[in-house]
Amino acid sequence: MLENIITMATQAVNDLSHRLRRRSIEAPLWERLAFYLTLAVVGFVSVFPFYWMGVTSLVDETWLYQTTPQAIPALADLSLENYWTLFGSETVPFVQYFLNSLFIGTVSAALGLSFAIFGAYSFARLEYPGRWIFSRGVLVNYMFAGILLVIPIFQILVTLDLVNNRLGIIVTHFIFVIPLGLYLLGNYFRSVPREIEEAGLMDGYSRLEVIARITIPMSKPAIVATYMYAFLLSWNEYLYASVILRDQGLYTLPIGIEQLQYAFQNVWGDVMAASVVTTIPVLFIFLYLQRYLVEGLSFGNMD
Amino acid sequence: MLTSIQQWITRWSIFDREYTIKQKEMLLGYALILPSVLLVAASLVYPVAYNIYLSFTEVPLDPRESPEWVGLANYEALLNDPEFWEAVQNTLVFTFFSDVGATALGLGVALLFRKNFRGDGIMRGLVLLPYIAPLIAIAFTWRWLLQPTYGLVPHILQDVLGVYSGTNIRQTMGMVILFDTWRYFPFAFLLILARVRSIPTELYEAAKIDGAGRFAQFKDITLPELKFVLAAVFLLRWIWNFNVFTDVWLFVGNNVPILGTFVYVKGFNTIPPNQGFAAAVANLMVIGLFVMVIGYVRYFMDW
């Protein structure tokens, strides 16, 4: 009985002192205000260009080129004119650019991953002398950005007659995707518990069957995420597309949008609408990718 | 005939011999990684070697002719070219300041997210927008925001704040650095955030009870805990900034010449293009980068 009272009393004292300490640690009002204010500024700076991109794409020209620019359009100023120009007009083959980008991205990501899956599995799981070279060597890619190799790769493509050719850009992108796939999938396969695969081996599966029947199905979400990063790499790539593709009909979105801006005067509405159309698929992809953000984004992007 | 072929296959085929499981796994490991390695070598090792060769030649316009050996002529011309030295200087200034900017801003924003607050998930997504959006879209949005006659920013600077001088502020080194800082601070933010959140809160509470102020906490707890991630982020951003091409090219074209755009202009945008010369620039960039990275790793990261 006495013991109970003592424990209860000590607990109450502990509680109280804990609460007092909490209060002294909690930030005062002005500090919280400053915190939310800073946060608001950061949010505004990050988002405002996107707001402006959207607004510009949705208004007509007279609003855009007035002598004193406004920040917020009236409802009456909104129009879909710019989007009609992009999708309906004969002069700008924007739909063609979009389809080109979609096709090149889809194919080169798929090709790249079909190689990278096995390569990544190999150095993540199988033991052999020299495998560390492959897992570390992936990082050497960081050093060789596109611009350092654009001359020799262009010359090689010239020799192979792959310039101004869809195949040329697919080959280039698909090879660039491989290191990304090796890096992301290698990290992932290492985190898959060995025991499940070993159980498969015990049941008489060969190693290849284990990969095909156990590892790949189990890793589907990670493979899809890697595929999407690979796709984005191709979707955003500018440098190689700009030197390889010459005919307007072959242009990908980055090249097409750039041409749009240089070809005509004061087409900001159209250019911003094109930018919106290019950005939206990327945002949807990232909604899916939330869980893989740190790994994927830390690989960096190719230019 | 058939039997002899079969014998020949048995003699040479690695799979028919008696191997231990371990050896089989080794062979499979090599077999699975080989395609990836060959392709990456074809796109990395061979081009690097070919680039060295090309830099000693004059690359003809007609792809059917082979490059003409000119020895060190390209390097001599390069070292006597004031444009090259201007690009070197610009690249170093750009690399340093945009690296410091992105890392510092990323650190600041990551510290805001140290504790959970209402809506932190959405806020994190918004902060990442500059980094995940396609470069072409944001480069043109910034161009439009900064457009001298109709752009929003010059209007605010000139008509509202009265500080604008009338030149094109987009085409300045300062604006390129700002643009790059804005685009890449989320990268630093994301990597630093993971570490920031793993610093035990008890450290701060103990420091607070001992009477340590904000600054002392930052200097004695936060910075030492983040030392390695900051050093790694700074290094990665250094490599990418030094090799940057697309960001600067799409934002200001050749108005702020850096090494990346210098290679591109000499190799593809001059008439006639001088690809041997451009290859020489790229080689010097590789060497310079390697020296800087090795120096950095040895002196700052105690590896």
Helix axes A268-289, A81-88, angle to 10 degrees: 80
Would the CB atoms of A293 and B159 count as touching at under 8 Å? no
Candidates A148, A177, A270: best to mutate against B (most CBs of B within 10 A) is A148
Q: Which residue of B has its CA nearest to A206?
A: B25
Distance from CA of B1 to the nearest CA of A (A): 32
ipTM: 0.86
Residues of A with Cβ-Cβ distance to B137 under 8 angstroms: 53, 257, 275-276, 278-279
87-126 in A: which are within 8 Å (CB) of B?
Answer: 115-116, 118-119, 121-123, 126
The number of distinct structural domains making up chain A is 1
Average confidence (pLDDT) over A149-160: 91
Taking only the tens place, the pLDDT of each residue in A115-149 is: 999 989 988 888 888 777 777 776 677 778 789 99
Q: What is the pLDDT at residue A143? A: 78
187-226 in A: which are within 8 Å (CB) of B?
Answer: 207-208
Every domain of chain B and the residues it spans: 19-69, 73-300
Superfamily of domain B73-300: MetI-like (1.10.3720.10)
Would the CB atoms of B37 and A134 count as touching at under 8 Å? yes
Nearest to A239 among B208, B245, B275 (CB): B245
What residue spans of chain A are helical by DSSP H? 2-25, 29-57, 61-64, 81-88, 94-125, 131-137, 146-159, 166-191, 194-202, 207-210, 216-218, 220-236, 239-244, 253-263, 268-289, 293-298
Would the CB atoms of A239 and B290 count as touching at under 8 Å? no
Taking only the tens place, the pLDDT of each residue in A33-81 is: 889 999 999 999 999 999 999 999 999 888 888 777 778 888 888 888 8
Would the CB atoms of A152 and B194 count as touching at under 8 Å? no
Residues of A with Cβ-Cβ distance to B260 under 8 angstroms: 147
Taking only the tens place, the pLDDT of each residue in B37-95 is: 888 888 788 999 999 999 999 888 777 778 888 888 899 999 999 999 999 999 999 99
Q: For residue A232, how far is the Cα from the chain centroid?
A: 5
Residues of B with Cβ-Cβ distance to A49 under 8 angstroms: 130, 138, 141-142, 145
Nearest to A142 among B47, B142, B239 (CB): B239
Residues of B with Cβ-Cβ distance to A230 under 8 angstroms: none
Taking only the tens place, the pLDDT of each residue in B268-290 is: 988 888 899 999 999 999 999 99
Residues spanned by the domain of A99: 88-298
| Model confidence band, residue B31 (pLDDT cutoffs 50, 70, 90) | confident
Whether residue A19 is predicted with pLDDT greater than 80 in this model: the reply is no
CB-based contact (8 Å) between A183 and chain B? no
A91 vs A32, residue with greater confidence? A32
Taking only the tens place, the pLDDT of each residue in B94-119 is: 999 999 999 999 999 999 998 888 88
Residues of A with Cβ-Cβ distance to B25 under 8 angstroms: 126-128, 207
Q: What is the pLDDT at residue A86? A: 86
Would the CB atoms of B123 and A153 count as touching at under 8 Å? no
Distance from CA of A142 to the nearest CA of B (A): 7
Would the CB atoms of B112 and A39 count as touching at under 8 Å? yes
Q: What is the pLDDT at residue B11? A: 56
Taking only the tens place, the pLDDT of each residue in B119-169 is: 888 898 899 999 999 999 999 999 999 988 888 888 888 877 777 666 788
A46 vs B33, residue with greater confidence? A46
CB-based contact (8 Å) between A42 and chain B? yes
> Is there a domain that residue A143 lies in?
yes
Q: What is the pLDDT at residue A302? A: 43
Taking only the tens place, the pLDDT of each residue in A74-106 is: 888 888 888 988 888 677 788 999 999 999 999
> Is there a domain that residue A288 lies in?
yes
> Is there a domain that residue A141 lies in?
yes
> Is there a domain that residue A282 lies in?
yes
Would the CB atoms of B29 and A127 count as touching at under 8 Å? yes
Whether residue A260 is predicted with pLDDT greater than 90 in this model: the reply is no
Whether residue B294 is predicted with pLDDT greater than 70 in this model: the reply is yes
- Among the ranges given (A239-253, B6-20, B165-179, B183-197), the one the predictor scored with the smallest mean pLDDT: B6-20
CATH number of domain containing A270 = 1.10.3720.10
Would the CB atoms of B135 and A238 count as touching at under 8 Å? yes
Q: What pTM did the predictor assign? A: 0.86
Residues of A with Cβ-Cβ distance to B136 under 8 angstroms: 236, 238, 253-254, 257-258, 275, 278
Q: Which residue of A has its CA nearest to B64?
A: A159
Would the CB atoms of A49 and B54 count as touching at under 8 Å? no
DSSP code at position A163:
T
Q: What is the pLDDT at residue A23? A: 53
